[in-house]
Amino acid sequence: MSLDAEGPRAPSREVIQADARLWLAENAADPLDAVVTSLPDVSELPELGPGLEGWKRWFVETAAQVLRWTAPGMPCLFFQSDIRHHGQWVDKAYLVQRAAELVGATLVFHKIVCRHAPGTLTQGRPSYSHLLAFSSGEPVIPKKPSADVLPDAGEMPWSRAMGTRACEAACRFLLNETRAKRVVDPFCGKGTVLAVANALGLSALGVELSAKRCRAARKLDAAALLST
pLDDT value, residue 58: 96
pLDDT value, residue 63: 98
pLDDT band at 125 (very low <50, low <70, confident <90, very high): confident
* Contacts (Cβ under 8 Å, ≥6 apart) of 58: 45, 48
Tell me, what amino acid is at 206? G
2 lies in a domain? no
213 lies in a domain? yes
4 lies in a domain? no
Pairing of strands 203-208, 182-185: parallel
Q: Could you tell me if 186 and 217 are in contact, meaning their C-beta atoms sit under 8 angstroms apart?
A: no
Sign (positive or negative) of CA dihedral 136, 141, 143, 145: positive
3 lies in a domain? no
Whether pTM > 0.85 for this model: the answer is yes
114 lies in a domain? yes
138 lies in a domain? yes
CATH number at residue 17: 3.40.50.150
Supply the mean pLDDT for the chain. 90
pLDDT value, residue 227: 61
What is the average per-residue pLDDT within 44-72?
93
Domain tally, the chain:
1
CA pair distance 187, 21, nearest whole angstrom:
10
Where do the H-state alpha helices sit in 70-109? 92-103
pLDDT band at 4 (very low <50, low <70, confident <90, very high): very low
The DSSP bridge partners found for residue 36 are 77
Is it the case that residue 116 has pLDDT exceeding 50? Answer: yes
Is it the case that residue 95 has pLDDT exceeding 90? Answer: yes
* 184 phi/psi in degrees, rounded to 5: -115, 125
Lowest mean pLDDT among 49-58, 72-81, 114-123, 214-223: 114-123
> Rounded to 5 degrees, what angle do the CA atoms 153, 154, 155 make?
135
- What is the percentage of the chain residues whose pLDDT exceeds 70? 94
CA pair distance 154, 102, nearest whole angstrom:
32
Is it the case that residue 7 has pLDDT exceeding 70? Answer: no
What is the average per-residue pLDDT within 171-197?
96
CA pair distance 108, 105, nearest whole angstrom:
9
* Residue 42 DSSP SS3: helix
pLDDT value, residue 1: 42
Domain interval for residue 222 = 9-226
Is it the case that residue 2 has pLDDT exceeding 50? Answer: no
